[in-house]
Amino acid sequence: MLFHKLLLCLMLVPLMASAITVQDDRGEPVQLSRPAERVASVSTFGADLLLALGMKPAAITRFGPFDQPDYLAGSLQGVPVIGSRSQVNMELLSEVAPDLVLAIRRYTEKDASRFAEIAPYAALNLVTLNDSIRAVSIAGELVGRTVDAEQINRSFQRQLETYRKQAPGGLSAALLVTGGEAPFIYYDHFLTAELLNWLNVDNLGGELSEPEQGLPLGYRIRLEDLLKQNPDVIFLFESNKERAFTQNPIWPYLKAVRRGQVYEVGQHWKEAAGPIARSLVLQEMAHRLYPELFTMPELPESLRSKPYR
Amino acid sequence: MNKVGVTPAVCWMLLPLAIVLGLLLSLSFGASSLSIEQVFGALIGNGNEHGERVVWELRLPRAVLATVVGLHFALSGCMLQALSRNPLADPGVLGISAGASLLAVMLVVGASMLPIGTSFNLQGDQLLAWLPWGALAGGILAALGVYLLSGSARLTPLKLIVTGVVCAAVLNAIMTGVLALWGQAHTETLVAWLAGSLHGRDWHHLWVILPWTLVGLIGVVITLRPLGLLRLNDEQVLSLGLDLGRWRLLVLLVATLLAASAVAVAGPIGFVGLVVPHIARGLVPGNLPHQLGISALLGALLVLVADLAGRTLVVPFELPVGVLCALIGVPAFLYLLKQQP
Amino acid sequence: MAAISIIAVVLSLMMGAQAFTPIDLWRLSQGEGELLQWILFWELRLPRTLLALLVGASLATAGGLMQGVTRNPLAAPDLTGVVAGAACMVVILSTLASVDAAWYPLAGVAGGAFVGVLTFVIAWKNGLMPVRVVLAGVAMSSMCVAVMTGLLVFSGAEAGELFFWLAGGISGRGWAQLAQVIIWTGPPLLLAMLLVRWFRVLLLDDAVGRSLGISVSRWRLMFMLLAVVMTAGAVTVAGPVGFIGLVVPHITRQLLSEQSVAWLPLNAVLGGLLLLWADLMARLPATAQEVPLGVVTALLGGPWLLLLMHKNIRRAG
């Protein structure tokens, strides 16, 4: 009798241990009764992490209808697209019937209750390097692969340290996103800019004293001011329109432009929080900054960084 | 007397049927494919969770809201066209939509700049919950401004139109300026709102607008007879003993409330108020009460169909309903304008 | 008049994110001074000033021509849908296709002409009543704006950039853009000035023109075409800037009779100066992104227009 009770208790323990509660970036508890298997990834982060763990998301989002497939496209054949990261099609989300939703906080927090009706909703900041590391842990725990997720984080930390030791430094760079006449430049705390710092490169965006939720990500800078600081390398983020500020008469006077050190980079640089993306960006960035020391990683042609004009 | 040979009675019978049909179609079609049995099952409470959610939480409130919004815009346009004795007037032309949009933009941009905003955790996009009230206030203020600038009690239809057009341009310019200088972070969400969209609208928005529907309908009934008379020229009206100034103000008020409350929940959707009254006038010329009613029904139908199309044409993405109304409305408008005597 | 212009030009060269003093300006014109200042002066300030003058002159002339030949004080490139049409075509091309930027002016002209013609066709009802034209123009402009907004929404994160171009501005435009504008607005401007004799005839009643043996409708079409081309050239580089074409001719009419030979040139000069002032004001706020030019012209032109309307309407009874 006692033996049977003991057996029952022993069987219950794993059942209880499977119930997962994690705090997301809002500080809200995300509760699952067992590890998530069908994850709706509202943003590329979720899909990225799942693929790194050898899983596949149940649904993904794209940037927009005029969009090119991103760096994960090859592995995501057959995964339904349910809208864009800021405007999710709720009907399709409901149809997919996920058991977890991973989303970017600043775009989707207002609809939190609607997401929560369909599946447990985890809001992630995904702005800084710390956000990325924490997000990998959180998501890893939610899919029941805590150990593997920690392993992913640790290996990335090691990669960062290796690169830091090897990078000679002494360069400055700017990350520019199209913003009409005045381009938008990212602050230090933005993930991609933090990677610059790890490579001993000075990010001209500068520091922001008190980011709230990591916002704002950056600011608009006049080309005259950019000329004063004159970065050695410029990385231009993806745009579907001709960049107005490159028509500005000041543009050809920039050191980086004269030396041909302006590179157009793939879309994944904008949202590099996923484990695959952040490693790729680090490697590609290092290659562009110090071409003799680091080699270009494996990437399909459409996603490689290219010298601008 | 009726050129088209359509009696009002026929319209009154067909249009509601068309709307009901439209509603049923809206429930049955969308991004997610549901079979008729699933839809029916969800309606009578017998469906699965997904079906019930899609029908009751997503499609039904949105479809009903589309009809209500369409009704508002069409009625408002009809009244404004009668008031200004000009077939080319509507809430957008007269600056009401522009005023509503401006205040809405200022609210979103301003709150995220002030310390208060962040302490209420109203970071950027959360503020969308407050937009309806801002838009409502903005529309009313804009209408008030246009009214005063056109001479208040001494307002003439011509002055009203011209003042309205200029005010609309100025308000739009200010809104663009505010967005350019301070609204960098919110452009993505605000531009979607400014196009006129019903994405993500649910029962909450419906409860916001329905009281105004009631107010508006009562207002229409009260001003019905004077409105018919206001279409005559000023001397005739005065000789009939009508207090021109007061009734003009009241009509403008009712039209503004209808338009502003619709902009508050759906953003500025154009062309409904412009085109639909034309069609109504073509169907039942000379009969204002019927024109108003048929405008309301037609407007509801137009926005309902436009929203359905916007939801289903580029799945999984959506075309804003404002864009579709323009695409449907403008060719119709051009055709009608040339047909008119 | 000349004094005002010179002051305006000098101020324009002085002001901006980095202000120059007159002494700096003198040194720069002699070829000395720091590299950065030199770049700013020669590559940005100077062409921008010239561009403002040229764009203002084109828009004012286009407005003056339209108002004159249609005898409609409310006709103008922005209120008849020409500006919106030109902008819409450029937006469609740049968003949906990756067409070489050299095609934009042509597209702008095509779009502007198309929409402008439509406006007049719609508004025609036994003649062209001013208010009908305005409202038809507003309707057509709204449609173009709706199409552009639709494309904006699909640009996602790029929406902001397009949105601000739609508000108009000449920041960051240099010699290359100036050259583009000169090609498309220079000849029409010159042509309009040379053809002033026919313009003056069209200002009078049609019967007078016919009695003089002039094909009234053909010349009207010619001037409208010049107006559209000028507008499109200006809009392609500066974005849709409104109110200049509408308001400036009214001001010129206060100063000089329309029949005077010097009317068109004066109108052009005034337009250029006014846009230069507007651009100066757009540069005033010390933010990285300047105030869009269209916003300034609307804020200046709107109230002025209201005043004008009230005076006219009161006079008309």
Tokens of C267: 């109108």
How many domains is chain A built from?
2
| DSSP-derived secondary structure for C157-215 | GGHHHHHHHTT---TT--HHHHHHHHHHHHHHHHHHHHTHHHHHHHHS-HHHHHHTT--
B192 CB neighbours in chain C (<8 A) are 153
Contact C221/A at CB under 8 A: no
Residue A140 sits in a domain whose CATH number is 3.40.50.1980
Q: Using CB atoms, which residue from C122, C143, C163 is nearest to B179?
A: C163
Q: Using CB atoms, which residue from C18, C39, C172 is nearest to A253?
A: C39
Distance from CA of C166 to the nearest CA of A (A): 11
Same-domain check for residues A68 and A196: no
Task: Please state the φ and ψ torsions of residue A236, each to the nearest 5 degrees.
Answer: -100, 125
Q: Using CB atoms, which residue from B176, B327, B334 is nearest to C122?
A: B334
Same-domain check for residues A179 and A71: no
Residue B121 — pLDDT band, cuts 50, 70, 90? very low
* Domain end point (choices A100, A130, A159): A159
State the average pLDDT over residues B285-294: 86
Reported residue count of chain A is: 309
How do beta strands A262-264 and A233-236 pair?
A: parallel
* Domain end point (choices A141, A159, A177): A159
Residue A1 located in a structural domain: no
Q: What is the pLDDT of residue A1?
A: 57
Residue type, A188: D
Residue A11 located in a structural domain: no
Among A140-149, B181-190, C27-36, C192-201, the least confident range: C27-36
Distance from CA of C167 to the nearest CA of B (A): 7
Cβ–Cβ < 8 Å for B170, B26: no
ipTM, two decimals, is 0.79
State the average pLDDT over residues B322-333: 81
Q: Which of residues 218-277 of B touch A (CB under 8 A)?
A: none
Same-domain check for residues A173 and A110: no
Distance from CA of A131 to the nearest CA of B (A): 18
Range B8-339 has CATH code 1.10.3470.10: yes
Residue B117 has pLDDT above 50, yes or no: no
To the nearest whole number, what is the mean pLDDT of chain C?
79
Cβ–Cβ < 8 Å for C286, A225: no
Residue A10 located in a structural domain: no
What's the N-to-C CA distance of chain B in angstroms?
14
Residue C207 — pLDDT band, cuts 50, 70, 90? confident
> How far is the C-alpha of B164 from the C-alpha of B83, rounded, in Å?
13
Distance from CA of A118 to the nearest CA of B (A): 9
Residue B116 — pLDDT band, cuts 50, 70, 90? very low
Residue A279 located in a structural domain: yes
Residue B341 has pLDDT above 70, yes or no: no
Between C159 and C212, name the one with better pLDDT. Answer: C212
Inter-chain CB proximity B330 and C303 less than 8 Å: no
Identify the closest residue of chain B to A220 by CA–CA distance.
B184
To the nearest whole number, what is the mean pLDDT of chain A?
84
Contact A219/C at CB under 8 A: yes
Report the alpha-carbon angle B260-B264-B268, nearest 5.
75
Contact C43/A at CB under 8 A: yes
Nearest to A163 by CA among A268, A294, A291: A294
State the average pLDDT over residues A238-260: 80
State the average pLDDT over residues C306-314: 71
Dihedral of the alpha carbons of C141, C145, C146, C152, in degrees to the nearest 10: 170
Tens-digit pLDDT profile for residues B218-235: 999 998 888 888 777 777
Distance from CA of A68 to the nearest CA of C (A): 13
> How far is the C-alpha of A156 from the C-alpha of A135, rounded, in Å?
14
Q: Using CB atoms, which residue from A220, A227, A241 is nearest to C288?
A: A220
Tens-digit pLDDT profile for residues C156-171: 656 666 777 777 888 7
Q: What is the pLDDT of residue B135?
A: 85
Q: What is the pLDDT of residue C317?
A: 40
To the nearest whole number, what is the mean pLDDT of chain B?
82
Sequence-distant contacts of B289-295: CB under 8 A, at least 24 apart: B289/B224, B289/B228, B290/B8, B290/B11, B290/B12, B291/B78, B292/B75, B292/B78, B292/B79, B292/B220, B292/B224, B293/B12, B294/B8, B294/B11, B294/B12, B294/B15, B295/B74, B295/B75, B295/B77, B295/B78
Inter-chain CB proximity C155 and A66 less than 8 Å: yes
Residue B8 has pLDDT above 90, yes or no: no
What's domain C56-66+76-316's superfamily in CATH?
Answer: ABC transporter involved in vitamin B12 uptake, BtuC (1.10.3470.10)
Residue B78 has pLDDT above 90, yes or no: yes
Residues near C198 by Cβ (< 8 Å), separated by ≥ 6?
C214, C219, C223
pTM (predicted TM-score): 0.84
A220 CB neighbours in chain B (<8 A) are 184
Residue A130 has pLDDT above 80, yes or no: yes
- Peptide bond before A57: cis, by omega within 30 degrees of 0? no
Identify the closest residue of chain C to B319 by CA–CA distance.
C150
Cβ–Cβ < 8 Å for C42, C178: no
* Domain end point (choices A132, A159, A186): A159
For residue A131, give its domain range: 19-159
Among A235-249, B121-135, C66-80, the least confident range: B121-135
**DSSP 8-state code for residue A74:** G
Rg (CA), chain C: 20
Residue A228 — pLDDT band, cuts 50, 70, 90? confident
Residue B18 has pLDDT above 50, yes or no: yes
Q: Which of C135, C158, C164, C247 to mutate to test the interface with B (most CBs of B within 10 A)?
A: C135
Same-domain check for residues A177 and A272: yes
Q: What is the pLDDT of residue B118?
A: 43
Domain ranges for chain B: 8-339
Q: Using CB atoms, which residue from C135, C140, C167 is nearest to B161?
A: C135
Q: Which residues of A touch B (CB under 8 A)?
A: 64-65, 80-84, 86-87, 89-92, 94-95, 97, 106-107, 109-111, 114, 117-118, 179, 184, 212-213, 215-216, 220
Residue C314 — pLDDT band, cuts 50, 70, 90? low
Q: Give percent helix, percent strand, percent coil of chain A, each to the nearest 5.
A: 45, 20, 40
> Highest-confidence range of C2-16, C57-71, C86-100, by mean pLDDT?
C57-71
Residue C215 has pLDDT above 70, yes or no: yes
B330 CB neighbours in chain C (<8 A) are 139-140, 143
Distance from CA of C191 to the nearest CA of B (A): 31
